[in-house]
């Protein structure tokens, strides 16, 4: 292994010197967030520390298998911490309501892989070259020489797998595959991860997929695909708004499509747009920026106030301009 970076040394020293710790992540947590948090919490707990694991929002259904004993929970009042570790959160605000409950702390550690990270911690380890925070958690645990139990391996494997689109995204590094190999060697249970994470859509979600296939539109010689998800569509499907995650991939993956857009009605006259690009010459974060949002070149989003018709007209106009 390469020489331990200073940031990791400092983080490990801070953890060693702490008795009470909180591991927290971002709002609407995804596989990378949940997996990294749980792996760190489990590894640190092994050393007789008092560790809580807090998120504003609950664990998504398909990730519950990682936390059968309920380590992850919503924050509670009146706790003080020697050390708070935020992982996978690009900014302090991304911790959501957890912020209120971690005021009484000695140290804030910020571990993340997002380029846009605001370096909000007292100690910051931001490695934007890494495709997932799970790989940072793995590195930390390895450097500390903490044992990688099958449970920890499962959490880290899920984190890395989900944030690389199952090892498909071009951001995936050779070291990502080596890490996956090591985690499988340490007992990551591919059969369970595969079934729970990738092969298990609730019926409500399946109804949203059906809605998508029946209502998507193609325009600009099939180079733009878009679809609306209204509040009534969620109601009809019996689905929760957080079940829309990843739906956009189904229309992005249509061959001639270059840009895909989902318009989601969050509240009356409040629309969330999600954008995906399949062509590196079309940067959707530039489009999202025009509407006060942001993201990456290939995936971005924004929240816009206004009438649905007007928003659709403006957004499609901006996409058409980007395609030229």
Which residues in this chain contact a second copy in the complex, by CB under 8 A? 161, 165-170, 172-178, 180-182, 184-185, 190-191, 193-195, 198-203, 206, 209-210, 213-214, 222, 249-250, 252-256, 278, 280
Q: How far is the CB of 176 from a second copy (least distance, A)?
A: 8
Q: Which is nearer to a second copy, 41 or 258 (CB)?
A: 258
Q: Which is nearer to a second copy, 256 or 306 (CB)?
A: 256
* Separation of alpha carbons 206 and 213, rounded Å: 11
Q: Which is nearer to a second copy, 181 or 231 (CB)?
A: 181
Q: Which is nearer to a second copy, 81 or 226 (CB)?
A: 226
Q: How far is the CB of 39 from a second copy (least distance, A)?
A: 18
Q: How far is the CB of 160 from a second copy (least distance, A)?
A: 10
In sequence order, which residues have a C-beta less than 8 Å from that of residue 239 and are 6 or more positions away?
A: 204, 205, 207, 208
Asked whether the beta carbons of 51 and 45 are under 8 A apart, the reply is yes
Asked whether the beta carbons of 131 and 150 are under 8 A apart, the reply is no
Q: Which is nearer to a second copy, 221 or 309 (CB)?
A: 221
* Separation of alpha carbons 299 and 294, rounded Å: 9
* Separation of alpha carbons 217 and 194, rounded Å: 31
Q: Which is nearer to a second copy, 225 or 316 (CB)?
A: 225
Q: How far is the CB of 231 from a second copy (least distance, A)?
A: 21
Residue 241: which of 215, 265, 211 has the closest Cα? 265
Residue 156: alpha-carbon gap to chain centroid: 13
Residue 137: which of 87, 102, 190, 178 has the closest Cα? 87
The total number of residues written for the chain in this structure: 324
Q: How far is the CB of 173 from a second copy (least distance, A)?
A: 7
Q: How far is the CB of 177 from a second copy (least distance, A)?
A: 4
Question: How many CA atoms are closer than 13 Å to the CA of 48, on its beta-carbon side?
Answer: 2
């Amino acid at each position: 292994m390469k020489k331990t970076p200073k940031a990791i040394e400092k983080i490990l020293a801070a953890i060693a010197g702490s008795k009470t710790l909180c591991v927290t992540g971002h709002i609407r947590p995804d596989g990378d967030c949940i997996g990294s948090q749980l792996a760190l919490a489990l590894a640190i707990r092994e050393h007789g520390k008092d560790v809580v694991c807090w998120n504003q929002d609950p664990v998504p259904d398909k990730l519950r298998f990682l936390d059968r004993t309920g380590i992850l929970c919503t924050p509670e009042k009146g706790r003080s911490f020697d050390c708070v570790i935020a992982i996978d959160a690009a900014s302090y605000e991304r911790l959501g309501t957890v912020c209120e409950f971690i005021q009484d702390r000695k140290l804030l550690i910020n571990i993340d892989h997002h380029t846009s990270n605001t370096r909000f911690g007292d100690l910051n380890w931001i490695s934007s070259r890494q495709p997932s925070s799970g790989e940072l958690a793995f590195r930390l645990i390895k450097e500390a020489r903490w044992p990688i139990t099958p449970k920890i391996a499962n959490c880290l494997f899920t984190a890395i797998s989900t944030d690389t689109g199952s090892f498909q995204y071009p951001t995936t590094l050779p070291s990502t595959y080596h890490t996956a190999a090591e985690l499988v060697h340490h007992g990551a249970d591919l059969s369970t991860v595969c079934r729970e994470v990738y092969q298990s859509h609730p019926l409500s979600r399946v109804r949203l997929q059906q809605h998508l296939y029946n209502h998507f539109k193609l325009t600009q010689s099939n180079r733009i695909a878009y679809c609306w998800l209204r509040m009534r569509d969620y109601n009809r499907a019996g689905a929760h708004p957080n079940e829309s995650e990843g739906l956009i991939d189904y229309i992005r993956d249509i061959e001639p499509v270059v840009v895909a857009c989902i318009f989601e009605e969050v509240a009356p006259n409040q629309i969330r747009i999600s954008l995906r690009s399949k062509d590196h010459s079309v940067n959707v974060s530039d489009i999202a920026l025009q509407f006060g949002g942001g993201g990456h070149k290939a995936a971005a989003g924004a929240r816009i106030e206004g009438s649905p018709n007007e928003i659709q007209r403006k957004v499609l106009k901006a996409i058409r301009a980007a395609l030229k």
